[in-house]
Amino acid sequence: MARMSYLSSIERYHEYQEVIQSLLESILMSLEDNLTKGVDVEPLVKKFPFLELQYYLDEMGLQAGNNLCFKTEHKRTLGQAGHQQDLSQRPYFLQVKWNNETCFTDPYFSIATKEVCLSVIKELRNPKAEAFYIVLDVSLTQLIEYVMGDTARANMTPYFKAGYGVIVGCLFCLVLFLISCVFSDIYALVKSIPHAFDPLQPFSIIIYITLALAVFDLGKTILEEEILMHKDIFRHSSTRRTITRFISTVLIAISIEALLTMFKAALGQAEYLLPAIAMMLAVVGLLIALAIYVYLGAKAEHLLLNARRQQKSP
């Protein structure tokens, strides 16, 4: 549930590159018009939360004035800096000098904001017909979220993480309780050995251990999938990975329980034989269903990606 990783951001950028560049060019025109007329740009910034910095360069590539910072968390540091810094060797400045058109950089890691960003630069003319350049920096991750209509969900991510964190904490507390039951039963088992030993007594301990293992694995899966790792909900492979890991946890737990039930039947409790066989069949059925799901899901995603590539190809 974490926000987009660097790799995912780059992939999405190349997928929606034309749309992104068209959007940025229109925003740059609106920003230029508002600033020229002295109109407050705050409404524009609120509408497009991915905007980070705006600044001007003169004909020699020197920054004219400090940065105009749109991010509240960076205003104190970035809003009071930048004047007269030499950006003449930056690739985007050399590019716009060469072709005199609106230019876009490739995604790069911003030294100023410590995030992956994108810059767009456009040549302007003052009343004296002297050239100068307006540059706009945007957050690539937030830009892609905006283009994909995912901004609201992304903003809710911290609350989702907190909810999952509470659930994972409860699961791990249950694991600790089960482990305490295991140690308690082991102590009772060792204490009873000299007197009367029940061969079925260790099975209750193994059941507690199995439950603890299953619950721990479930909590670990939720922690990794929903809190620590980036999960792209727009890709089938991400959802397929989560379902596969969850079903695998269930399969392991049922398999161990079926094996224990079979052992009980082998020790003389014949009434456990049919339940053990039923659980084994359930494991086989789940395994076959999971294999079919993974195969069909992977095949569907492969066909979808091929269709997108064909649409992009001339």
Three-state secondary structure string covering 182-236: HHHHHHHHHHHCCCCCCCCHHHHHHHHHHHHHHHHHHHHHHHHHHHHCECCCCCH
Give the pLDDT confidence of 70-122 residue by residue, as tens digits: 777 777 767 677 777 888 888 788 888 777 778 888 888 887 777 888 988 88
Which tokens hold the place of 174? 């249950």
* 314 CB burial (10 A radius; 0-12, 13-18, 19+): exposed
- From the first residue on, what is the mean pLDDT of each consecutive set of 10 residues in the chain (314 residues)? 72 86 85 61 75 84 82 71 79 79 85 83 71 85 86 84 93 94 85 66 78 86 83 74 83 83 78 87 91 87 76 63
Please report which helix (H) or strand (E) contains residue 112, including its range: none
CA–CA gap between residue 28 and residue 74 (Å, rounded): 21
Q: Which residues of 107-144 are buried (b: 16+ CB within 10 A; e: fewer)?
A: beebebbebbbbbbbbbeeeeeeeeebbbbbbbbbbbb
Place of tokens 């950089």: 105
Place of tokens 């791990």: 172
The ranges assigned to domains in the chain are 6-152, 153-312
Q: Are 1 and 226 in contact (CB under 8 A)?
A: yes
Q: Are 146 and 49 in contact (CB under 8 A)?
A: yes
Give the pLDDT confidence of 146-182 residue by residue, as tens digits: 888 888 888 888 899 999 999 999 999 999 999 998 8
Which homologous superfamily does the CATH classification assign to the domain defined by 6-152?
PAS domain (3.30.450.20)
